[in-house]
Amino acid sequence: SAAVRMSQVRLEELIADDFREIGASGKYFDKSEVLKSLPSEEPTKICSSDYEIFSLTPELAQVLYQSWREDDDGVPVRKARRSSLWRQSGENWQMIFHQGTLL
């Protein structure tokens, strides 16, 4: 949600220190880069669907889904297929990897 993307505290909780991302552009990002960029992005409506969750081990899960942004007229733009790896850390889950591929 936009609230989570703008919350430094919440992002710190959800993103693991060893996090890596391969963006839709092919560029690599780490946690510090994400924490610098996400809260300063202009809020926009991001939609998602077609979630699939795979338990890889008791402490590791893969989440696959599609996302898109809507322009001012509600038209879907920047559609992407996304994959995230989440690792259980104590009582919480943290994202350790994310990749987006534009469709």
**Domain at 94, CATH number:** 3.10.450.50
The torsion of the CA quartet 55, 96, 90, 62, rounded to 10 degrees, works out to: -10
Mean pLDDT value across residues 8-37? 92
The Cα–Cα gap between 46 and 25 comes to: 18
The per-residue pLDDT for 52 is: 99
Q: Quick one: pLDDT band at residue 9, thresholds 50, 70, 90?
A: confident
Q: How far apart are CA 38 and CA 95, in angstroms?
A: 15
Report pLDDT for 74. Answer: 86
What domain range includes position 31?
2-102
Check whether 3 has a pLDDT greater than 90.
no
Question: pLDDT for 36-94, tens place per residue?
Answer: 887 666 767 789 999 999 999 999 999 999 999 888 888 898 899 999 999 999 999 99
Residue spans of beta strands (DSSP E) within the chain = 15-22, 28-30, 46-57, 60-70, 76-89, 92-102
Q: Would you state the pLDDT for residue 82?
A: 96
Q: How many domains does the chain have?
A: 1
**The two three-digit tokens of residue 29, written as one number:** 């990002």
